[in-house]
Amino acid sequence: MPELHIVVCMKVTPKPEEIQVDPKTMLIRREQARSEINPPDLNAIELALQLKDQSAARLSIVSMGPPFFEPLLRVGLAMGADGLYLLSDRSFAGADTLATTYVLASAVKKLGHVDLVVCGEESSDGATGQVPAGLAEWLGWPLISLAVEARLEDSEEGILVTRESHGRSLVRGQMPAVLSVKSAANQPRFMDYDRKAWAFEQVPMTVWGPEDLETDAARVGLSGSPTAVTGLREADVRDRRRKRLEGSIENVSRQLVELLDPLLRS
């Protein structure tokens, strides 16, 4: 039986509080914000590492984005992953979830034998939750969503997944499959400092472009993205209601009780 191969699709996102959008292109200005690992993807890496601990599987990280993502992607290697693949080309820029999942699926196919693709349930910048389902569709594999725990069956062809959605349920799936991991499903482990030098200095990062993936130019980047942002507006800021209470402590206390009493009774 071939070695079990797990792929985690990892995204680097701008810090939400620093996001800016170009009013002309309607695209996020990534260079204006510091970057971080998409938090749900850390949960995905942790769950994949737990499966690896069960079966001595090989774990690869696949990400799409510019080369400056590399230091953050290497954190996954230091946590316990074995290989790193970056899908990077100017033609991939501006992709929506359809074009993104097409490129990610092309990379999974190029990797050859893959048993399980693991994703965070959504990204902190787009928050559509469409990537796991889109990947499953492109690959023609089943999707198990909102996973909080998983373990391999003895045959290593099946997987038992605990899902959490309005309660917990246990699902048995057959691999190959796509698994989406619920945000905050687990506590991601720290980097293994015995692996850090190896992860950051010794492991080569494989970079694939459209020629390597044999992608259709009409399906990638902006040209492959049917989603269109037609306008932007700043959300209205509402002033908070304020009321200044004055007088003695007894007076202020009485006024406060009178104000809060109807709210607490409603």
Q: Is the pLDDT of residue 156 over 70?
A: no
Q: Mean pLDDT across the chain, nearest whole number?
A: 91
Does the residue 266 lie in any domain? no
Name the residue with tokens 């996954």: 76
Phi and psi at residue 85, to the nearest 5°: -130, 125
Q: 131-139 and 97-111 are packed helices; what angle lies between their axes, rounded to 10 degrees?
A: 50
Residue 256 lies in a domain: no
Is residue 185 one of the residues assigned to a domain?
A: yes
Q: Is the pLDDT of residue 31 over 90?
A: no
Helix (H, G, I), strand (E, B) or coil at 174: strand
pLDDT: which is higher, 165 or 62: 62
Structure tokens at 187: 């506590």
Identify the band that residue 21 occupies on the pLDDT scale cut at 50, 70 and 90: confident
In a domain, 237, yes or no: no
What's the angle, vertex CA 57, arms to CA 139 and CA 67, rounded to 5? Answer: 65
Q: Is residue 254 part of a domain?
A: no
- Joined together, the tokens standing for residue 112 give 């050859």
pLDDT for 29 equals: 74
Q: Are 99 and 224 within 8 A, CB to CB?
A: yes
What is the model's pLDDT at position 198? 95
Average pLDDT over residues 27-43: 85
Structurally, the chain folds into a number of domains equal to 1
Q: Has residue 102 been placed in a domain?
A: yes
Question: Is the per-residue pLDDT at 20 higher than 90?
Answer: no
Mind listing the pLDDT tens digit for each residue in 105-114?
Answer: 999 999 999 9
Please state the pTM of the whole predicted model. Answer: 0.83
pLDDT value, residue 23: 77
Q: Decide if 253 is inside a domain.
A: no
Q: What pLDDT sits at residue 189?
A: 94
Q: Which domain holds residue 138?
A: 5-224
The per-residue b/e assignment along 133-172, b for 16 or more CB within 10 angstroms, e otherwise, is bbbbbbbebebbbbbbbbebeeebeebebbbeeeeeeeee
pLDDT at 253: 93
Domain assignment of residue 233, yes or no: no
Percent of the chain with pLDDT strictly greater than 70: 99
Query: The domain spanning residue 110 has which CATH number?
Result: 3.40.50.620
- Give percent of the chain with pLDDT exceeding 90: 70
